[in-house]
Amino acid sequence: MKKQTQSLIFQTEGKNKIRQWHFSYKKFAAIICSSVCLLGILLFLTADTLTGYFYRLKLSKIRSNYFHVTTTLTNLNSQLEILNNKIEELEKQDTELRRFTGLPIIDNDIREVGIGGIRLSENFNISLSGKGVNPGVSNLEINIDALTRKVKLELNSFDDIHKKILENKEKLNFIPSIQPVTEGYLNSGYGYRKDPIDGIRRFHHGQDFSVFQGAPIHSPADGTVKRTGYRGGFGKYIIINHGYGYQTKYLHLSKINVKKGQSVVRGEVIGETGNSGRSTAPHLHYEVIYNGTPQNPLNYFFNG
CB nearer to Zn ion: pick between 210 and 262: 210
Stretch that binds Zn ion, among 5-13, 121-129, 202-210, 254-262 (CB under 5 A): 202-210
Say if CB 225 and CB 262 are below 8 A apart: yes
> How many residues interact with Zn ion (rule CB under 5 A)?
3
Restricted to residues 274-303, the positions that interact with Zn ion (CB under 5 A) are 285
CB nearer to Zn ion: pick between 136 and 235: 235
Could you give the 3-state DSSP secondary structure of residue 183? coil
Minimum Å gap between C-beta 285 and Zn ion is 3
Give the span between the Cα atoms of 170 and 103, in whole angstroms: 16
Say if CB 252 and CB 267 are below 8 A apart: no
Minimum Å gap between C-beta 244 and Zn ion is 25
Stretch that binds Zn ion, among 63-71, 175-183, 205-213, 296-304 (CB under 5 A): 205-213
Give the span between the Cα atoms of 286 and 263, in whole angstroms: 19
Beta bridge partners of 231: 235
Where in 26-102 does DSSP place strands (E)? Answer: none
Say if CB 290 and CB 264 are below 8 A apart: no
CB nearer to Zn ion: pick between 173 and 254: 254
Check residue 98 for interaction with Zn ion (CB under 5 A).
no
Check residue 208 for interaction with Zn ion (CB under 5 A).
yes
Restricted to residues 28-87, the positions that interact with Zn ion (CB under 5 A) are none
CB nearer to Zn ion: pick between 86 and 202: 202
Residues 6+ apart with CB under 8 A from 28: 8
Check residue 266 for interaction with Zn ion (CB under 5 A).
no
Q: What are the backbone angles phi and psi of residue 200, rounded to the nearest 5°?
A: -85, 140
CB nearer to Zn ion: pick between 242 and 285: 285
Say if CB 70 and CB 136 are below 8 A apart: yes
Residues that bind Zn ion (CB under 5 A): 206, 208, 285
